[in-house]
């Protein structure tokens, strides 16, 4: 006996009603529905009381989409390839090539170290996104990755603020006794590291990996809804402490510098040095605003909306801002090189010494070969 269209639609409606009733009963029996999870960052995954237990990646294009699995992977690979050697070289120059450790050099060395520690963990994120946002390294390593990712990013913003304050005292009050010396700068740097790492401890206190049935295990991209209150409060607080405060400090410091020097930009030697120092710090400030502002605003807006119960889908914009934040780590060394004559000279001398030693080793290596050839003839 055949079925007409009216009968088929009636059966389909009945099945949907039974499915809805069954889910309501299951939800009442359990305080934690198995799929009550929500995106922690602007959404990769949005599952809330899902009935379909066999959802595939084709049903969730943002999970397997090219934006995260291809574009973000390429950006991270570029940052790693460029940033690792350049920041390592910058750290080497600041620590071992400069005889006098000025406060500015100490702060720049810490900034290079923060960038370097951010970059060395990128291979794990590259693997994660290349595998389709499927985390295979376990919960503990995911927590370590998240802690280092945010910790070193906030270290960078705070050290940039410290550099702006140091530049203010060095340019506006060059003879002031209140200027920090090298020992005090080292103490300040240690305090920054300790405070930031203490602030990242909460990231280790809640589950960072979430298993999505028939899809993958995510790392930090989604969180159980009953744990959502913590990341909302945490990331809003860190956005203020790690971004808003350093940003205000930088803007105020550079405003006071410009106010002090606006009438003294002549072509004298001393003012040329001041102008170059100001240019260096202005470029760092612009990089700070361009690289860190969009991402931090996106995160704070996202969690502010979640705090009001408003879910939002801004994943594409978030990925772009995340790329800008990551690019800052490989741009800093080029700023040091092209603006600072002293840094550029140290880099050239280091490379020339290395090339000379390599050439000498090559001569030594091929000398026995030449002797043996002559003797055989």
pLDDT one-digit tens code per residue, 121-158: 999 999 998 888 888 898 999 999 999 889 988 998 99
The string of pLDDT tens digits covering residues 237-270 is: 888 999 999 999 999 998 888 888 776 655 555 5
The CATH number of whichever domain residue 81 belongs to comes to: 1.20.1070.10
- Is the pLDDT score of 195 beyond 90? yes
- Is the pLDDT score of 52 beyond 70? no
The string of pLDDT tens digits covering residues 261-305 is: 776 655 555 567 667 766 776 777 788 889 899 988 888 887 777
| Owning domain of residue 299 | 38-48+59-352
Asked whether residue 157 is domain-assigned, the answer is yes
Asked whether residue 374 is domain-assigned, the answer is no
Residue of 11 and 202 predicted with greater confidence: 202
Asked whether residue 306 is domain-assigned, the answer is yes
- How far CA 270 is from CA of 96, 261, 262, 337, in Å, comes to 27, 12, 15, 21
Asked whether residue 359 is domain-assigned, the answer is no
What string of DSSP letters covers 224-252?
EGGGTHHHHHHHHHHHIIIIIHHHHHHHH
Asked whether residue 260 is domain-assigned, the answer is yes
Residue of 21 and 186 predicted with greater confidence: 186
The pair of structure tokens assigned to 313 is: 């889908």
The structure's pTM equals 0.73
- Is the pLDDT score of 200 beyond 80? yes
Number of domains in the chain: 1
Asked whether residue 27 is domain-assigned, the answer is no
Beta bridge partners of 76: none
Nearest CA-CA partner of 202 in 137, 140, 143: 143
Task: Give the rounded percent of residues in the chain with a pLDDT score beyond 70.
Answer: 63
Q: What is the mean pLDDT of residues 117-121?
A: 92
**Max Cα distance, the chain (Å):** 102
Residue of 219 and 360 predicted with greater confidence: 219
Tally: H helices and E strands in the chain: 13, 4
Asked whether residue 265 is domain-assigned, the answer is yes
Asked whether residue 122 is domain-assigned, the answer is yes
């Amino acid at each position: 006996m055949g079925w007409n269209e009216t009968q088929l639609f009636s059966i389909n409606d009945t099945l949907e009603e039974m499915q809805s009733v069954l889910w309501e009963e299951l939800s009442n029996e359990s305080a934690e529905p198995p799929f009550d999870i929500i995106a922690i960052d602007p959404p990769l995954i949005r599952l809330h009381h899902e009935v379909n237990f066999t959802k595939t990646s084709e049903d969730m294009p943002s999970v397997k989409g090219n934006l995260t699995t291809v574009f973000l992977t390429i950006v991270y690979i570029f940052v790693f390839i460029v940033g690792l050697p350049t920041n390592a070289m910058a750290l080497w120059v600041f620590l071992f090539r400069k005889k006098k450790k000025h406060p500015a050099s100490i702060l720049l060395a810490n900034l290079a170290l923060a960038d370097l520690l951010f970059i060395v963990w990128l291979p794990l994120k590259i693997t994660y996104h290349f595998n389709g946002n499927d985390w295979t390294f376990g919960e503990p390593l995911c927590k370590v990755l998240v802690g280092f990712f945010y910790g070193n990013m906030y270290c960078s913003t705070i050290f940039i603020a410290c550099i702006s304050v140091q530049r203010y005292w060095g340019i506006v009050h060059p003879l002031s006794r209140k200027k920090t010396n090298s020992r005090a700068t080292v103490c300040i740097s240690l305090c920054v590291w300790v405070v930031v790492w203490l602030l990242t401890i909460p990231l280790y206190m809640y589950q960072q990996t979430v298993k999505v049935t028939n899809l993958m295990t995510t790392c930090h991209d989604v969180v159980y809804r009953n744990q959502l209150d913590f990341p909302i409060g945490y990331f809003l607080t860190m956005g203020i402490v790690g971004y808003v405060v350093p940003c205000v400090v930088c803007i105020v410091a550079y405003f006071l510098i410009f106010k002090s020097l606006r009438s003294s930009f002549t072509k004298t030697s001393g003012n040329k040095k001041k102008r170059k120092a100001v240019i260096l710090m202005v470029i760092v400030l612009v990089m700070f605003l361009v690289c860190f502002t969009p991402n931090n605003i996106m995160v704070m807006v996202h969690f502010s909306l979640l705090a009001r119960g408003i879910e939002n889908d801004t994943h594409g914009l978030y990925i772009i801002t995340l790329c800008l934040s990551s690019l800052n780590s490989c741009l800093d060394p080029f700023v040091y090189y092209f603006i600072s004559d002293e840094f550029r000279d140290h880099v050239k001398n280091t490379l020339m010494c290395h090339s000379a030693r390599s050439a000498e080793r090559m001569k030594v290596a091929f000398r026995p070969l030449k002797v043996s050839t002559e003797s055989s003839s």
